Structure 1
Amino acid sequence: MKINVPLPFDHADLPDEFGTMAAVAEIGRTVEQASFHAGLVTDHPVPTGRWLDAGGHHAQSPFVMLALLAAHTTTLRLQTGILVLPYRNPFIVARDITTLDAFAGGRVTLSVGAGYLKGEYRALGVDFDQRNELMDEYLRAIRAATSGEEFVFEGTGYQAFGNRIIPGSPQKPGLPLYVGGNAKRAIRRVVDLADGWNPFFTAGGGVNSATTRTAAMENEDDLKAGIAYMRDYAAQVGRTALPDVILGGVNKPGEDLSNQQIVDRIGTYAQLGVTACGVTVKGKTRSEWCDNAARIGEEVIAKI
């Protein structure tokens, strides 16, 4: 079981604590020394004020933040958690991600989702109702564009007739692509086009399926059902190597667990087939956050 950590750089309300180069350096060193597998950054380039006022959160540029993090780490995986893929031309994403991957020594994982904020889609000039079709198309485009080989691809309003993005991803057999979402359509997308599935709990803490526009996942039984559906669909289409299951968070939104409870919960998820999961670190100051991250390294990661 690999343990990931959502990074705190989105705290725009605490810029002196989490919005400086010193913060990136200290937090990067801390999570790497604590043996976290990957650092995760989110993606909301232009959220609406209404959503923010209702409990939404800011997000820094994911590729910029991962590049800064790469400069202060050597082994930590650099992962989007998640990137809203339909917001951007897939070849721009491919160029950004392969540049980062090459300079970081092959440490990037691209986890993507369809997103759910209509106001953000509108501000970016992307058709919200076409987001699922764009997801499927863009995943195929990114596979082709990050290979390092000349590629041909015809998409919605764009074409590549023998184009190259050099360097491609240095990872073999290619850049790891994960897909988020709990719906059966998202799970089928994982099996058809991706390397891993990023499910997330929707119950508690003001998070629900109506807000996120995906299927509800409220407990371990729902997670188990999703994994079973993924296995059944993989058998139908003849995929023998099952995708990884990377759970967004060990605890449900708003749930407060002790480190020992987190260890126990991870054991349960491992038995279900989860291969990696996120553990949220709390802290209102950088010092507090780093102390808690180090403690999770000692009391959780070291035990599993």
Structure 2
Amino acid sequence: MTYGMQLPVQSLSTIYAEPWENDAGPAELAEVAGAADRFGFGYVGVCDHVAIPQRLAAAMSTTWYDPVATLAYLAAVTTNVRLLSHVAVIGLRHPLLTAKQYATLDRLSSGRLILGVGAGHVREEFEALGVDFERRGAVLDEAIDAVRAELAAGEQQPGAVQRPVPVWVGGSSPAAVRRAALKGDGWLPQGDPRDRMPGQIARLRELRERLRGADPITVGAIAEPLYVGEPDWPVGRRTLTGKPEALAESLRAYRAMGVDQLQVRFRSRSTTELVDQMAAFADGVAPHLNE
């Protein structure tokens, strides 16, 4: 079981952003991505929203860095860590444009792209861009096929280094799980609690076998928030805390469910504390994840 993380700063949703991120910017974003690179994280991920309407601004904020521009910036300050769009709402854009952007990103990063895609959920974004919100699932299905075909053909240059570029499908609805089983190289669940994951994974694998036979698929999960050690500040009741060995034992339950890659997130009060938590995880927890 490998591990990666969604990056701070580039999106400021109140669901997960820490207060210190409000005053942070590109330098802090690069610092955290560089730390992930040094500490052996499998990937760093960024989100995608084009525009947040006022009705959602209080909860979601209006700060959402563009994923392609952000990952291209981070490609220049990292060497090994993979670059994940988690997730790109590719149905909002023409498939040829999407393929061009992400092929270029894969080339600039020497083949480190993972293209995570999802259907989207903000109606106003679709309406503003002239895309049918009610057909977003069908549009995504068509877009995945078209983008895959263009990335594989490589007729427009610069082409992607990877052939094929891995496509991970995000979402936890029945339609999203089926889409992942049919069209994905990986699955990125969204918000499933731990106790729901075994059933979701069983359904995914059942559909995969029926639709794709023995083709492998990378199964993901998002862990509870983490704090390595004993915090002296309130980190929230759902946060897993404690000694590295205890955290590793808890997280190994995901591997037992059939999870291949685990997305982790750390509670922190500053960039420095976040980087320290990442280091503590890499040094003390990660070596025990696959025992």
Q: Normalising to structure 2: TM-score of the pair?
A: 0.86
Letter in 2 for 1:18: A
Deviation digits for residues 210-230 of structure 1 (CA, Å, limit 9, x no counterpart): xxxxxxx3432x211111112
- Aligned twin of 2:273: 288
CA distance in 2, matches of 1:88, 1:198: 21
- Please point out which of 130, 133, 146 is paired with 2:135: 130
For structure 1, the 5+ residue unaligned runs are 150-163, 202-216
Shift of 1:252: 6.9
Aligned: 1:54 with 2:59: yes
CA distance in 1, matches of 2:56, 2:102: 28
Aligned: 1:219 with 2:194: yes
- Please point out which of 91, 97, 103 is paired with 2:102: 97
Letter in 2 for 1:99: T
Shift of 1:55: 4.7
- Aligned twin of 1:158: none
- Aligned twin of 2:25: 19
Note closer, same or farther for the CA distance 1:57–1:292 as it changes in structure 2 (3 Å cut).
Answer: farther
Note closer, same or farther for the CA distance 1:141–1:72 as it changes in structure 2 (3 Å cut).
Answer: same
Shift of 1:54: 3.0
Identity of aligned residues (%): 29
- Aligned twin of 2:15: none
Letter in 2 for 1:256: T
Letter in 1 for 2:185: D
Contact 1:10 1:57 in 2 (8 A): no
The count of corresponding residues between Structure 1 and Structure 2 is 271
Flag as ranges the 4+ runs of structure 1 deviating above 4 A: 11-17
- Aligned twin of 1:154: none
Contact 2:182 2:207 in 1 (8 A): no
Deviation digits for residues 139-165 of structure 1 (CA, Å, limit 9, x no counterpart): 00011111144xxxxxxxxxxxxxx22
- Please point out which of 244, 249, 265 is paired with 1:264: 249
- Aligned twin of 2:180: 190
Contact 1:6 1:281 in 2 (8 A): no
Letter in 2 for 1:225: G
CA distance in 2, matches of 1:299, 1:123: 47
Deviation digits for residues 95-135 of structure 1 (CA, Å, limit 9, x no counterpart): 11110101211000000110111122222221110100001
CA distance in 2, matches of 1:228, 1:16: 39
SS of 1:146's partner is: helix
Contact 1:34 1:293 in 2 (8 A): yes
SS of 1:110's partner is: strand
CA distance in 1, matches of 2:62, 2:5: 17
- Aligned twin of 1:167: 158
CA distance in 2, matches of 1:6, 1:176: 18
Contact 2:5 2:44 in 1 (8 A): yes
CA distance in 1, matches of 2:62, 2:253: 30
Contact 1:94 1:146 in 2 (8 A): yes
SS of 2:198's partner is: helix
Deviation digits for residues 258-286 of structure 1 (CA, Å, limit 9, x no counterpart): 15454223211111111001111233322
- Aligned twin of 2:7: 7
Aligned: 1:199 with 2:189: yes
CA distance in 2, matches of 1:42, 1:293: 20
CA distance in 1, matches of 2:218, 2:130: 33
CA distance in 1, matches of 2:206, 2:99: 31
Shift of 1:289: 2.0
Shift of 1:66: 0.5
1:110-121 superposed matches below 5 A: 110-121=115-126
CA distance in 1, matches of 2:247, 2:63: 27
Contact 2:115 2:168 in 1 (8 A): yes
Shift of 1:237: 2.5
Contact 1:194 1:243 in 2 (8 A): yes
Letter in 2 for 1:268: A
Letter in 1 for 2:263: G
CA RMSD of aligned residues (A): 2.2
- Aligned twin of 2:73: 68
1:24-43 superposed matches below 5 A: 24-43=29-48
For structure 2, the 5+ residue unaligned runs are 13-18, 227-235
CA distance in 2, matches of 1:63, 1:293: 24
CA distance in 2, matches of 1:269, 1:57: 33
Aligned: 1:239 with 2:244: no
Letter in 1 for 2:36: V
